[in-house]
Amino acid sequence: MSQEQQARAWSAPVWPKDTLRIAFGVIWLIDATLKWLPGFRSSYMSVIMGEAQGQPGWLRPWFDFWIRFQHPDAMFLAYLAAVIETLIAVALIIGFARKLTYISAIAFSLLIWGTAEGFGGPYTSGASDIGTAIIYAVVFAGLLMLSYYGGPARYSADYYLEKKISWWWRIAETRRPAPADAPTGAAPAAPEAQATLARPA
């Protein structure tokens, strides 16, 4: 058995990474649904201001900045957070613009972790964890790595869009997909030079 045949025989199935992506998208969809409830909007600023309490002095300017920035438009930003989480959830489930979605979601998760979750507050008294948003960011980074090593996702919108739009891979894949393999059953044609025998003069 050749090395190529051995690699194909031992290649991992493609569906687990798609299952992980879709399952994570369902989790985000549930979380996004909760963000559309009135309770989230009514407590939006109080949560951020509450996280600022008890923070060390060297972090106070960071939280003061975000409180001043968000306070005048708290309702708009609460809706914006719900919209962003909904878009991330839908993009995960259908597999749309995966590379762009993963990178954007990492940045969004870190922003949530650094504001609404107060960096998890492991340095404050009574802290029991480091926050969930940082774990979300790590999962998105893992999905980005899986996309690099696993290649195109068979069960995704990107898989079909890449066939229609030549540049779509740039926002869907972490590297350019390899061209499709040539059919293995076709025998290569013999060169004409080798088919012609030299005749004596």
Residue 18 lies in a domain: yes
Taking the C-alpha atoms of residue 135 and residue 47, their distance in angstroms, rounded to an integer, is: 20
pLDDT score for 184: 44
Structural domain for 35, as ranges = 13-52+70-121+129-177
How many CB atoms are located within 10 Å of the residue 104 CB? 16
Residues of the chain with pLDDT under 70: 1-12, 121-128, 180-201
Residue 153 lies in a domain: yes
Taking the C-alpha atoms of residue 78 and residue 35, their distance in angstroms, rounded to an integer, is: 8
Residue 60 lies in a domain: no
Residue 31 lies in a domain: yes
Domain count, the chain: 1
For residue 29, how many C-alpha atoms fall within 13 Å in the half-sphere facing its CB? 12
For 1, residues 6+ apart whose C-beta sits below 8 A from its C-beta are 9
How many CB atoms are located within 10 Å of the residue 172 CB? 25
3-state SS assignment for residue 160: helix
pLDDT score for 53: 83
Taking the C-alpha atoms of residue 54 and residue 132, their distance in angstroms, rounded to an integer, is: 19
pLDDT score for 121: 67
Q: What is the DSSP string of 29-97?
A: HHHHHHHTSHHHHHTHHHHHHHHHTT--GGGHHHHHHHHHHHGGGHHHHHHHHHHHHHHHHHHHHHT-S
Residue 65 lies in a domain: no
pLDDT score for 188: 47
Taking the C-alpha atoms of residue 54 and residue 174, their distance in angstroms, rounded to an integer, is: 41
Residue 161 lies in a domain: yes
What is the pTM for the complete model shown? Answer: 0.80
pLDDT score for 191: 47
pLDDT score for 7: 43
